[in-house]
């Protein structure tokens, strides 16, 4: 099975896919697309990914984009260990948790949004940083409310990590990138402590990728 992942060290969405691949023990080659330097708009990459974002996942020549779609695809081509629960209600809950970050919190802090805040509204670097800190914290606060209603045991859905934990861990990384204090989010911190004890999560962390810049 040949797998290529077009990603970037700082990309939260690429982090999700790296964790999923590692949990599935699927080897892959990662190809860097420096989204901070605008390489996502290069003609070659734009041909591969019409949305001009990472990640793009290529499996035996077949391309897939959107991290959640990629993780679900991986679960279908290699069902064990499961990233989505077998039970239909649990599966829906795992997707709901995942989408809090994927669909609601993370899209507010991506480079194209940060760039547009400056270009369209004259936001300076401090204002953009404040925007990102706010939305990263909102995502964590939502997860904290959800995990206080249904505590992790030790992962969000039970004994094994699922797409929910991957996306919650990604939101914690967004918080780390903006130096957020995790004290108000103890349930989230405890859950992700368990996640990052696993090499699949720890090794996929943006701070451990080639090209990482503090
Ligand atoms: N919902 C998408 C997010 C894709 C996305 O926005 N990726 C970011 C990096 S995490 C990106 O490539 N941004 C480029 C830009 O905003 O110009 C997914 O989960 O794959």
Ligand 1 atom closest to Cα of residue 65 = 20
Q: Strand 29-32 to strand 3-7: parallel, antiparallel, or no bridges (unpaired)?
A: parallel
Predicted confidence at residue 118, as pLDDT, reads 98
Domains 3-81 and 88-206 share a fold: no
**Which CATH code fits 3-81?**
3.40.30.10
What are the residues whose beta carbons fall under 8 Å from the beta carbon of 167, sequence distance 6 or more?
16, 97, 98, 99, 100, 101, 102
CB 112 near ligand 1, within 6 Å: yes
Residue appearing with tokens 């948790």: 97
Predicted confidence at residue 207, as pLDDT, reads 95
Residue appearing with tokens 């925007």: 131
- Asked whether the beta carbons of 83 and 23 are under 8 A apart, the reply is yes
CB atoms within 10 A of CB 156: 27
88-206 fold = Glutathione S-transferase Yfyf (Class Pi); Chain A, domain 2 (1.20.1050)
* Domain ranges within the chain, ordered by starting residue: 3-81, 88-206
Predicted confidence at residue 163, as pLDDT, reads 98
Q: Please choose from 5, 7, 10, 13 the residue to mutate so as to test ligand 1's pocket, defined by most ligand atoms within 8 A of CB.
A: 13
DSSP 7-55: E-TT-HHHHHHHHHHHHTT---EEEE--TTTTGGGSHHHHHH-TT--S-
Residue ranges of the chain with pLDDT lower than 70? Answer: none
Q: Please choose from 111, 119, 135 the residue to mutate so as to test ligand 1's pocket, defined by most ligand atoms within 8 A of CB.
A: 111
CB contact burial 64-88 (16+ within 10 A = b; e otherwise)? bbbbbebbbbbbeebeeebbbbeee
Predicted confidence at residue 211, as pLDDT, reads 87
CB 98 near ligand 1, within 6 Å: no
Question: d(Cα 97, Cα 4) in Å, to the nearest integer?
Answer: 27
Q: How far is CA 139 from the centre of its chain?
A: 12
* Ligand 1 mean position, distance from CA 55 (Å): 7
Predicted confidence at residue 1, as pLDDT, reads 72
* Ligand 1 mean position, distance from CA 14 (Å): 8
Predicted confidence at residue 186, as pLDDT, reads 98
């Amino acid at each position: 099975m040949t797998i290529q992942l077009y990603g970037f060290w700082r990309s939260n969405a690429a982090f999700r896919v790296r964790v999923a691949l590692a949990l599935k023990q699927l080897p892959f080659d990662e190809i860097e697309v420096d989204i901070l330097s605008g390489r996502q708009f290069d003609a070659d990459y734009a041909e591969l990914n019409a949305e001009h974002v990472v990640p793009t996942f290529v499996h035996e020549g077949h391309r897939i984009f959107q991290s959640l779609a990629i993780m679900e695809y991986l679960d279908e081509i290699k069902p064990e260990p499961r990233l989505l629960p077998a039970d239909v209600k649990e599966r829906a809950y795992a997707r709901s948790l995942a989408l809090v970050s994927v669909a609601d919190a993370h899209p507010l802090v991506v480079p194209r949004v940060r760039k547009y805040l400056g270009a369209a509204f004259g936001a300076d670097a401090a204002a953009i940083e404040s925007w990102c800190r706010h939305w990263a914290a909102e995502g964590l606060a939502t997860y904290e409310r959800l995990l206080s209603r249904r505590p992790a045991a030790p992962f969000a859905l039970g004994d094994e990590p699922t797409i929910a934990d991957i996306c919650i861990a990604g939101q914690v990384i967004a918080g780390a990138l903006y130096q957020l204090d995790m004290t108000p989010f103890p349930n989230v911190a405890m859950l992700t402590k368990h996640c990052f004890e696993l090499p699949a999560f720890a090794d996929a962390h943006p701070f451990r990728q080639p090209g990482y810049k503090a």
